[in-house]
Structure 1
Amino acid sequence: MSSRIEIEITSEIDDKQYTWRALGAREPKGTIKKSLFPAETKIGDDFRVEADFLIDGIEILRVLPKRDERKEQETIEILGSGNENYGVTTQLVKKKRNKKGTRNRKNQDQNTQKRSKSQQSKKDTVKKPRQSRSPQRGKRLKAKRSHRNSVIDSLPDLHKPLAREVLSRGIPNLRKTLSTMKLPEGFDVEILRYAEKINKQLKTAEWQDRADAVLMNAKDVDLRDFRSVVAAGGQWARSDELSIIQSQLETSLRERIDFEHQQWLSEIRKAIEEGKSVRALNLTSHPPKPGTPLPENLMDSLVDLANNSLDSDTASHRWSVVVQAVAFSPIRLKVVPKGIPERISDELVDTIKKLSDRIPNISGIFTDSLKQSTE
């Protein structure tokens, strides 16, 4: 395989040959035919050649033309028009005094005062405390979509996009979409009629998916989800098969509520025995059966515990916590404190003021303190 090297002519042997060596080096070296070089070649000239490196020496095949000398890039010099007037000018001008400055400052001061008054009024507004949310009883419901998907799969391919549209956006949005489309007269009415039919099938299938999930986890599912599925069964459980599922749900719900109710009573009883008045009061405000009264023995024990927790030896902060728990418990009208704290804090007065309509027996003891706070 040939390669390219640069050589230098070192001497002339005869009319037919030159001697050469690698440019700037002693080796390699050899002889070359004169016929390969231009006629004006002389000793000391250098050339680029193509040569074969063989076992017995180097054979020069041809002489390559010399590289052209590198020329600098041509540039264009911009002289300009000679006009020294620039397009943009700057000029400093003295700032004029605003005659309305004093009036603007007055308006700003008035706005600041109004904002501060409104913020202060918001702070002074008495906010009634809300009852704490009922504790979660069980795991949240996670239903599969097997029945719903089977309904969609049973539809013709042309109707499946309509079913997905109804699922994702609902009938009202579908009605708006159809109103913007240019359809033949009466065509939108037929589409809506068919969409409502599909929607009913999908809603029934979704309820069945939720019902199956509840029956599989009747002991662990959250009671709120359990009740919602049973309540929705009156609307969607229309067939004989679904009516059987609905009856099973109702039976399971009654058993579950009875179990939760007994557990709720045992937790209240345990809290009373341990002297945890706030926990016992909070438990009574969230029964599994809404509106279920406490047994008389538990109610009497809880009233005694609450009365003993509200005495003169109890600190004001503890008083506030117990009062809030009493205000949302079923014994709120039966609690009569055994004393008042020696030092009545502002926090306690504010708490009783907010809850005065729910705890008249307690607020009546602090009448003087409440009057002073309003003044």
Structure 2
Amino acid sequence: MPRIEIELTSNRDDGSWTWRAAGAREPRGAVDATLLPDGVSVGDLLRAETEQFMDGIEITAVLAPKEGSGKPDLLEILGSGRNEPDVVTTLAKKGRSGRREDRPRRDGDSRGRRREDKKGSSRRREGAERRGSSDKDRGGDFKTSGKGGDRRRSRKGSGGDNRRSPAKVAAPRPKRLRPRRKHLKAALAVLPDEMSLIGQHLARGGIPSLRDAITAQNKAATEAGEPEIPVDLLLQLAERLQPNLRTADWHDRAEAALAGIAEVDLRDIRSVVVAAETAARTDETRELAESLREGLTARVDHEHAEWANEVRTTLDNGRIVRALRLSSRPPKAGSPLPSAELERLAEAANSSLTSQVSQDRWATIIDAVALSPVHLRVVPEGMPAEPAEELLEVVRRVSMNVPDVAASFGIEPTPPRRNRRPRRPAAS
């Protein structure tokens, strides 16, 4: 029988009491006064045993409330049972110094620690001076700062490149071509049902993709004991469908290229223009190809002018290496810089290669000159007194592109060695 706690709410004239669950409105009901203990009143809390019926809860017995002891609950402390003093004192050992210098200061520092810091800093300065003197004896181009012994590369005699260069800003990457496949989907939609699968393979990878699919299906048919698909017949059908699908695919690419003529990568636009020779078969596609050629020409001319201006500005700022590298990448093939700019670039490269320039700088400039359009015009104004092996290795590597510079070092121009991987032995 479930037991609940009830609260008496009223006393009826017939001798019964009304009740409800303690602290709640439901459940509630009536209980006979004979079940209640003597001396109860409205608001008393009692424990009752109940029975659950279809029409409600009936109280079968009422328990008397628990009588409290009237004393608070306390925990008894037993202790260890030994008599010990309440306060324990420990005296310091003899022999310790009571001088003020050994006592720690409020900020956690001490005079002894300060003396050690001074000695350590003096040792670091002496070590830095020794390293600086050894660098000077070796003839290196490094400076030693007085703090921490950091070594910084000196740019003395490097043709004015010791000025702080402006912060490099990464050039935005050109957008790639993203056609929408509108015309290709329309061309596939008009194909008969028996040609639809062939057209999908052609649109995905051309004739090679279709041939691979036929080979795989014939292999599965052979294993299952079924007849193979006629390869020649399907390839003939594919050759009939491919020109129209190629034109539709080119149409999608050409529209996307013309829409992004100012920002799409030039390589993608050039590939679409080249493909127009075989793919543009209708009047609409021919007009589109002509518009694309005109847009490509205008785009290349504009970028070529910006490229020449950037080379000129970089050269004015004294950034010879940057100017040499830019000059080797013209946007318009076969259109180098004007003759006056090439002469100016060659003179700047010659004046940057002197005996006062560090060998690291020498190697950097020679590497940039090797790919520039002035690689045959550069003649150094001075030579390093004792060229290091690293510099000689760079000159040997690019000696075919800079024969005059290689001859200045006494190096015969030779083609660079190719690192060919050894062939794997054939499996027996």
Among 318, 322, 334, the residue aligned to 1:279? 322
Worse-superposed segment, 190-199 or 266-275: 190-199
Among 222, 232, 236, the residue aligned to 1:193? 236
Alpha-carbon distance in structure 2 between the residues aligned to 1:333 and 1:56: 115
Unpaired segments ≥5 residues, structure 1: 6-49, 59-134, 371-375
For residue 200 of structure 1, report the CA deviation from its aligned partner: 2.5
For residue 174 of structure 1, report the CA deviation from its aligned partner: 2.5
1:18 paired residue number = none
The secondary structure found in structure 2 opposite 1:364 is helix
User: In the superposition, relative to structure 1, how do residues 340 and 184 fare at CA in structure 2: closer, same or farther (>3 Å)?
Assistant: same
Alpha-carbon distance in structure 1 between the residues aligned to 2:378 and 2:59: 122
Amino acid at match of 2:340: N
Amino acid at match of 1:358: N
Amino acid at match of 1:233: A
For residue 176 of structure 1, report the CA deviation from its aligned partner: 4.6
1:75 paired residue number = none
Among 162, 169, 176, the residue aligned to 2:198? 162
User: In the superposition, relative to structure 1, how do residues 338 and 253 fare at CA in structure 2: closer, same or farther (>3 Å)?
Assistant: same
* Native 8 Å contact 1:140 1:222 kept in 2: yes
User: In the superposition, relative to structure 1, how do residues 216 and 169 fare at CA in structure 2: closer, same or farther (>3 Å)?
Assistant: closer
Residue 182 of structure 2 is aligned to residue 146 of structure 1: yes
Amino acid at match of 2:347: D
* Native 8 Å contact 1:163 1:198 kept in 2: yes
2:214 paired residue number = 178
Q: How many residues align?
A: 254
Among 242, 249, 259, the residue aligned to 2:285? 242
* Native 8 Å contact 1:147 1:205 kept in 2: yes
For residue 204 of structure 1, report the CA deviation from its aligned partner: 1.6
Amino acid at match of 2:334: G
The secondary structure found in structure 1 opposite 2:174 is coil
Amino acid at match of 1:327: A
The secondary structure found in structure 1 opposite 2:408 is coil
* Native 8 Å contact 2:181 2:252 kept in 1: yes
**Deviations, residues 322-341 of structure 1 (Å, cap 9, x unaligned):** 00110111111110000012
Q: Which has the higher helix share?
A: 1
The secondary structure found in structure 2 opposite 1:339 is coil
For residue 193 of structure 1, report the CA deviation from its aligned partner: 1.8
Alpha-carbon distance in structure 1 between the residues aligned to 2:321 and 2:293: 34
TM-score with structure 1 setting the length: 0.60
Alpha-carbon distance in structure 2 between the residues aligned to 1:317 and 1:207: 50
Question: Which consecutive segments of 4 or more residues in structure 1 shift more than 6 A?
Answer: 50-54, 182-186
**Deviations, residues 5-52 of structure 1 (Å, cap 9, x unaligned):** 9xxxxxxxxxxxxxxxxxxxxxxxxxxxxxxxxxxxxxxxxxxxx997
1:225 paired residue number = 268
Amino acid at match of 1:357: M
User: In the superposition, relative to structure 1, how do residues 169 and 260 fare at CA in structure 2: closer, same or farther (>3 Å)?
Assistant: closer
* Native 8 Å contact 1:316 1:343 kept in 2: no
Alpha-carbon distance in structure 1 between the residues aligned to 2:174 and 2:52: 91
Q: CA RMSD in A?
A: 3.3
Alpha-carbon distance in structure 1 between the residues aligned to 2:57 and 2:253: 88
TM-score with structure 2 setting the length: 0.53
The secondary structure found in structure 2 opposite 1:314 is coil
**Deviations, residues 72-116 of structure 1 (Å, cap 9, x unaligned):** xxxxxxxxxxxxxxxxxxxxxxxxxxxxxxxxxxxxxxxxxxxxx
Worse-superposed segment, 311-320 or 189-198: 189-198
* Native 8 Å contact 2:399 2:412 kept in 1: no
2:394 paired residue number = 351
Worse-superposed segment, 355-364 or 285-294: 285-294
Alpha-carbon distance in structure 2 between the residues aligned to 1:56 and 1:224: 93
* Native 8 Å contact 1:230 1:246 kept in 2: yes
Residue 292 of structure 2 is aligned to residue 256 of structure 1: no
1:295 paired residue number = 338
* Native 8 Å contact 2:346 2:377 kept in 1: yes
Amino acid at match of 1:172: P
1:205 paired residue number = 248
* Native 8 Å contact 1:349 1:369 kept in 2: no
Alpha-carbon distance in structure 2 between the residues aligned to 1:159 and 1:333: 60
User: In the superposition, relative to structure 1, how do residues 54 and 269 fare at CA in structure 2: closer, same or farther (>3 Å)?
Assistant: closer
* Native 8 Å contact 1:148 1:202 kept in 2: yes
Alpha-carbon distance in structure 1 between the residues aligned to 2:338 and 2:59: 120
User: In the superposition, relative to structure 1, how do residues 203 and 56 fare at CA in structure 2: closer, same or farther (>3 Å)?
Assistant: closer
Amino acid at match of 2:289: Q
Alpha-carbon distance in structure 1 between the residues aligned to 2:361 and 2:342: 22
